[in-house]
Structure 1
Amino acid sequence: MAYSPEDLKHRFESDTVGRALALVGERWSLLILRECLFGVRRYGEFARNLSIPRPTLSARLKTLVEAGLLDRVPYEPDRHEYRLTQMGRELFPAIVTLMQWGDRYLADPDGPPILFRHKGCGQISESYVACRNCGGDIDYHTVTPEPGPSFGNG
């Protein structure tokens, strides 16, 4: 059964995309998370790699720690590093998908700056969204939105 936009009008009241963007959608937060996914952990490395103003970096790191995406872990007396939590690591597919979209439409003429080599097969890899049940591609044309368990709980 297909649902019209009017049938799904309550989707905005409990919109998890909006909630996720409120948490990680700000430019610096997403770039900090990208750096973490590529192994950066220390404040100075973030500041250097991102050329981010230090007050902004401090505020974003604090927000990401409070939200449960990063842990602040001591590594020397009075020094800390930031490690991704499970919640933070699970953003990897979303960040890679966004990166691949940028590579496709916004890359330099020479191509993308980063490629992923799959450890399992040794080949340069591209990720894609697939159905966990049948393995088929999930894209704009292959799914139909329908109300979920919290539909209308706004």
Structure 2
Amino acid sequence: MALPRDYPGQSCSLSRAMEVIGERWTLLIVRDAFLGVRRFGDFAAHLGIPRAVLTDRLAGLTGAGVLARVPGDGRREVYVLTDKGVRLWPAVRALSLWGEEHRPAPGGPRRVFLHADDDAPVAVDGRCTGCHAAVEVADLLVAPGPGLPPPSADDDPVTAALHRPRRLLQPLPLTKGSPV
């Protein structure tokens, strides 16, 4: 039996937020959108999520205004974070930091965040450790961390792209042979 999507009897803002982003897979889809994933097939391949579940979660995120479907490369629409979706970055980052502290990956974090202006690490408070500026999400570079396994021929296009530093919110380059 599927669990309901709402929280009857709960009227706080956290319960309302959880109705949008609280289902299994949803925050990972949002995370991947920050990493530049745009295409349905790339979400499916990178997450290993059943296509029916991905369809449902993408519909929920677009219906809530977190993602928008926009024209892509001429063949298909792609998904992009809306302003509302981008405002989820502090929550996504906070949960990632919590995971690094309380459920660390062997070898350290798989990804680190740097300020695009000076390549200095970004501290927990979102400030650049080099210039001390508050770093907006569009000015963040995601780079391989010490816990990222070496590249493999079996890597999906998203995993392969994340072996190189790249700005958040920038679309991943389309890869020939990437799933549709």
TM-score (norm 2): 0.61
Letter in 2 for 1:90: R
1:119 maps to: 116
What is the CA-CA distance between 1:77 and the residue it aligns to? 4.9
Task: Report sequence identity in percent.
Answer: 41
> Does the 8 A contact of 1:97 with 1:128 survive in 2?
no
Any unmatched runs of 5+ in structure 2?
A: 1-8, 127-180
Q: SS at the partner of 2:70?
A: strand
Q: Runs of 4 or more off by more than 2 Å in structure 1?
A: 119-122, 126-129
Q: SS at the partner of 1:57?
A: helix
1:32 maps to: 29
Q: SS at the partner of 1:117?
A: strand
2:50 maps to: 53
Query: Between Structure 1 and Structure 2, whose CA radius of gyration is higher?
Result: 1
Name the structure with the higher helix share.
1
Match 1:74 to one of 49, 71, 74: 71
Any unmatched runs of 5+ in structure 1?
A: 1-11, 130-154
Q: SS at the partner of 1:21?
A: helix
TM-score (norm 1): 0.71
More RCO (CA 8 Å, sep 6+): 1
Q: SS at the partner of 1:96?
A: helix
Q: Does structure 1 residue 89 correspond to structure 2 residue 86? A: yes
Q: Does structure 1 residue 105 correspond to structure 2 residue 102? A: yes
What is the CA-CA distance between 1:27 and the residue it aligns to? 2.3
User: Following the alignment from structure 1 to structure 2, what is the Cα–Cα distance between the partners of residues 77 and 56?
Assistant: 25
